[in-house]
Homo-oligomer: A and B are copies of this chain.
Amino acid sequence: MDIAAVNLLPYEDFVNIFGNVVEKCPIIPAAVWSRRPFVSVKAFEAAINEFVDALPESGKEGILRCHPDLAGRDLKSGTLTRESQEEQAGAGMDALSSSEAARMARLNEEYKKRFGFPFVICARMNDKAAILQQLSARCQNELAVERARGIEEVKKICHLRIHLLLSDGTFKL
């Protein structure tokens, strides 16, 4: 599917296809549908990023709070979104040793207690070791720094999800 095909989508199809490019935030692609036509995929992504950047700080925290923990209870119970499931599995989050799992759980709790939102990282761009190292290091940040850092990761995840959807035969028009 190319950008010309994206521009022709009725809002219902657009939201069905792109509704989870920001985890559990279909309001975001649903909002940027108002900005069509997009001159390029890059412009479509830029519209999403601009919408996110214009949210109040509470809204950015809201986006982060819609994300599951890495190797958390949604992974264990099979209630992750399809996209998160694939991303977490790709980074080996479903195959942690018991000591790695215990360390991840402890650090996730420490992070959430400190910031009031979960640790978000683009799992497709990191492996298990890098994720554990980042989680440990980012627990030391200030709130404002970490909120901004989490949102940068949300944008990377969004970028990869959009490109995967556009290259996926399922949605070729």
Contacts and interface: CB of A to CB of B under 8 A. Distances in A.
A131 to B, nearest CB: 20
Interface bin, chain A: 20 to 34
A56 B58 contact: no
A157 interface: no
Contacts of A34: 57-58, 61-62, 116
B116 A11 contact: yes
A33 interface: yes
A6 interface: no
A24 interface: yes
A11 to B, nearest CB: 5
Contact of A35 (B11, B58, B63): B58
Nearest to A56: B54
A65 to B, nearest CB: 4
A26 interface: yes
Interface string A47-91: 000010011111101110110000000000000000000000000
A32 interface: yes
A31 B11 contact: no
A66 B18 CA distance: 12
Given A27-B66, A30-B65, 13 more contacts: A25-B27, A26-B65, A29-B62, A30-B61, A31-B65, A32-B62, A33-B61, A33-B65, A33-B116, A34-B58, A34-B116, A51-B56, A51-B59
